[in-house]
Structure 1
Amino acid sequence: MTTIESIKLGGIPTTALIWGPEDGVPVVVAHSAGLDAASLTSFGTAAAQRGHRVHAIDLRGHGHSAARPAQVTLRGMAADVLEAVELFALDRPRLLGISMGGVVAGMAAAADPSRWRDLAVLCSPDRGYPAFESRAVAWREGMAMIARETIERWFTETDLAERPSHVVEAEATVRAMHPLRWDAVWRDFAQFEGWSRPEGLPVRSFAGARDVSTPPAVVQRIADVLGAELTVLPDAPHQLLYTHVDEVLDAWGAA
């Protein structure tokens, strides 16, 4: 069962989704660029069945977030994640993020390592790249083209040919994003200078062996900075929390 709450973070209205028993181990999870909290439903449902209480928010500029394009920054998203811990009165939750959400989670962890139980980073880039700036063309080119190009980076050829429900959902979610917010995300992302180690915090990292967006070698560079163990999932693409939820949870394990 999914609980939906309308909240404000950084003074900006947004939506939070919650899964699992009230006495479960608390978790905060952050989604990819172009997606939203609902994209984490499979993860939230499966983690809840393993005794976790999972919280996900629509990050700035995504889903039901009312952020203006100028407010859509990674640093602002990380501040919102920290504020969400206070809002929901979470006691040292586990922290997990995928792709852009992994960067946001890493920023939130580095800002206050004592706030968290552990950190997991999935399929994230090690820094901003010029190619990210080149993705900020949605206002000119339209979100339909952006959505097609994005899912080609996220999923395997088989997924793209067979179009299971998670591929259809992901493409529709990206397509529905406001183009100015999309462009703002990638302009800010291009300026990301790299990771800082959250001192004293246990860290795990995950990569998909078939991820063309952030291949294992890229995620390994993050693991080296953070002092983290890297788990590479065979035959897995970029969007592990759509395609390989159980495998991630098995490797992630208990806190």
Structure 2
Amino acid sequence: MTRNSLGSLPRSAARLPRMAPDMAQLPAGRIVTLTDDVTTRLYDTGEEHLTPVVLLHGMAATGMLNWYQTFQRLQGEYRLIAFDQRRHGMGHGGPFDFTALSEDVLRVADHLELDKPVVGGYSMGGIVAQLAARRDPSRLGGLVLAATGTGAERNALEKITLGGFLRSSPLLNAVPVEVAREIDDEVLSAHTWALRELSSVSFATHRTVIGEVARFNSTSWLHELDLPVAIVKTMRDIAFPRWIQDEMADLLPHSAVFPISAGHAACATHPGTFARRMRTGIGWVVSNSH
């Protein structure tokens, strides 16, 4: 049995938040086949009598890594569902673009026979949620969009910011695959589990996702989404500045904004406050759904 000391990890990994999950309180992931050869790892609290909420993670995360704090705090209030999106964690390793990811959201809803689930999306997941709603808004009960926006690279400042993000993207993967492979404890500690989840996303995927974000622009069609949308606005966000989040809110015909005084990594740096904002946002969507 090999054990890793945090001292052997890169300095960025050693500074990871210590608010690790209580693994005993979280549902076990299972591998499901959505269609043909598209498989993923899915987490489901399973309470069929509760409103279903599908949670979409952001870049460099996995389904549970992005949402475990929300699962711990909101389970029992909603049927919470998360899954690994393509090329993240145990998600499908095939073709990757945001359109394919949005199709997977509806495939998960079909697989679980969900009736008008609320879809929550964080960062990249928020973009995917917008596209899923555009495909068929009648299939969803509403959206909760956190730390996300209408797109990027539409002016000089954004291009400079996005370019620096792209060049430094390898730094986002704090745990080298080689280190993760040495972690083979039969029962993983919560922090070690988080390190392994982080290592599952390749540098190439970081660059692919950032390129997709650069091409995405929903400003021409967001006004068509006739469903309630709650926006968890990260007030100190650099990846999606406040004005892009405000633009999104202004374009949506049925939206409400719930601010949080945090940056783009709010789910990790302010987990309690973030989970409370998600609770408020989901509740608003449910109470305003058609």
- TM-score, L = length of structure 2: 0.71
Question: How far did residue 133 of structure 1 move?
Answer: 5.7
Question: How far did residue 183 of structure 1 move?
Answer: 2.0
Question: How far did residue 12 of structure 1 move?
Answer: 2.2
Q: Secondary structure at the match of 2:105?
A: helix
Q: Secondary structure at the match of 1:76?
A: helix
Distance 1:226 1:232 in 2: 17
Do the aligned partners of 1:31 and 1:100 also contact (CA within 8 Å) in 2? yes
Q: Secondary structure at the match of 2:90?
A: coil
Q: Which residue of 2 aligns with 1:43?
A: 70
Give the number of equivalent residue pairs: 230
Instruction: Find out whether 1:245 has 2:245 as its counterpart.
Output: no
Partner letter of residue 246 of structure 1? R
Q: Among 249, 259, 264, which residue is 1:232 paired with?
A: 259
Partner letter of residue 222 of structure 1? M
Q: Which residue of 1 aligns with 2:32?
A: 7
1:149-164 alignment runs, 5 A limit: none
Q: Which residue of 2 aligns with 1:75?
A: 99
Distance 2:88 2:128 in 1: 14
CA RMSD of aligned residues (A): 2.6
Q: Secondary structure at the match of 1:201?
A: coil
Partner letter of residue 239 of structure 2? S
Instruction: Find out whether 1:27 has 2:57 as its counterpart.
Output: no
Larger radius of gyration: 2
Instruction: Find out whether 1:62 has 2:88 as its counterpart.
Output: yes
Distance 1:134 1:216 in 2: 19
Q: What's the CA shift string for 1:55-95, capped at 9, x where partnerless? A: 11101111111314xx1211110010011110110011111
Q: Which residue of 1 aligns with 2:184?
A: none
Q: Secondary structure at the match of 2:209?
A: helix
Question: How far did residue 99 of structure 1 move?
Answer: 0.6
Q: What's the CA shift string for 1:13-69, capped at 9, x where partnerless? A: 21111125232111111011110101212212322232x11111101111111314x
Q: 1:251 to 1:78 in 2, by over 3 A?
A: closer
Partner letter of residue 259 of structure 2? V
Q: Which residue of 2 aligns with 1:181?
A: 205
Partner letter of residue 48 of structure 1? Q
Q: What's the CA shift string for 1:113-156, capped at 9, x where partnerless? A: 10011111111032132444654458xx8x4x2336xxxxxxxx
Do the aligned partners of 1:127 and 1:192 also contact (CA within 8 Å) in 2? yes
Do the aligned partners of 1:48 and 1:54 also contact (CA within 8 Å) in 2? yes
Shifted more, 101-110 versus 38-47: the winner is 38-47
Question: How far did residue 204 of structure 1 move?
Answer: 1.2
Partner letter of residue 258 of structure 2? T
Distance 1:61 1:132 in 2: 21
Q: Among 203, 209, 214, which residue is 2:229 paired with?
A: 203
Partner letter of residue 96 of structure 1? G
Distance 2:114 2:107 in 1: 10
Q: What's the CA shift string for 1:189-208, capped at 9, x where partnerless? A: 21112243353211111112
Partner letter of residue 117 of structure 2? P
- TM-score, L = length of structure 1: 0.80
Do the aligned partners of 2:44 and 2:82 also contact (CA within 8 Å) in 1? yes
Unaligned runs of 5+ in 2: 1-25, 154-158, 175-189
Unaligned runs of 5+ in 1: 149-164
Instruction: Find out whether 1:101 has 2:125 as its counterpart.
Output: yes
Q: What's the CA shift string for 1:158-203, capped at 9, x where partnerless? A: xxxxxxx88x977764444122222222222211122433532111
Distance 2:33 2:213 in 1: 23
Partner letter of residue 231 of structure 2? S
Distance 1:37 1:124 in 2: 17
Q: Among 121, 126, 135, which residue is 2:145 paired with?
A: 121
